[in-house]
A and B are shown apart, each in its own frame.
Chain A
Amino acid sequence: DTEVTQTPKHLVMGMTNKKSLKCEQHMGHRAMYWYKQKAKKPPELMFVYSYEKLSINESVPSRFSPECPNSSLLNLHLHALQPEDSALYLCASSQVGVGTGELFFGEGSRLTVL
């Protein structure tokens, strides 16, 4: 099993809603990532978890709240988002250490904020 699974694939929410994006991997990877991607742009790193601890937060607004309940799961909690937050949110995982740039990506959750 070499997949990173993201749910939901599509999400539409209002600016006052609270929703969550979920990511799961069963490759035994101990690093997990959230990226944000706008159309025709490269992915932008948001958060990195290493051994279930937040190791990188790229100055992301607090309306995005990550959570890593265990080594296989990664959540991104969304609250009071803005229309400009509409994007493709990608989850990825990797080994920690040598070769950490070799990321395995999910198919993404496409978020629309109305």
Chain B
Amino acid sequence: AQSVTQPDIHITVSEGASLELRCNYSYGATPYLFWYVQSPGQGLQLLLKYFSGDTLVQGIKGFEAEFKRSQSSFNLRKPSVHWSDAAEYFCAVGPPYNQGGKLIFGQGTELSVKP
């Protein structure tokens, strides 16, 4: 079955500290991989995506993610967290071929940032 697991429901980090959010997936083939962020009361915004090629991808707002095929993981990282990064983060996978975009979302990780 296709699924996305974000093991951490809630993470709290201090401002300026590094961040890693975990994402594991189960899929028949290598899917397209995404991280979305949702600030309170807002829609979702794409942070970064992986389709193919270099397994370390850079995104907006200083985020990066690394695709590890052997671990079926796509973890999100940021070297120094800012208070404005407090939000809900969703990992998602999508089909790796020409199809209407039916994404499978993880349950989300809520990030809190301590001053």
B2: min CB distance to chain A, Å: 13
CB neighbours of B51 from chain A (8 A) = 98-99
The stretch of A12-20, A40-48, A59-67, A71-79 in contact with B is A40-48
Give the interface residue-count category, chain B: 20 to 34
Interface size on A, residues (CB 8 A): 30
Are the C-beta atoms of B100 and A99 separated by less than 8 Å? no
* Set A42, A96, A108: member contacting B100, Cβ < 8 A: A96
Are the C-beta atoms of A48 and B43 separated by less than 8 Å? no
Look across to chain B and name the residue whose beta carbon is closest to the beta carbon of A44: B105
B53 in contact (CB, < 8 A): no
CB neighbours of B36 from chain A (8 A) = 105
Cβ-closest 7 pairs across A and B = A101-B94, A100-B101, A42-B105, A105-B43, A105-B44, A107-B43, A97-B98
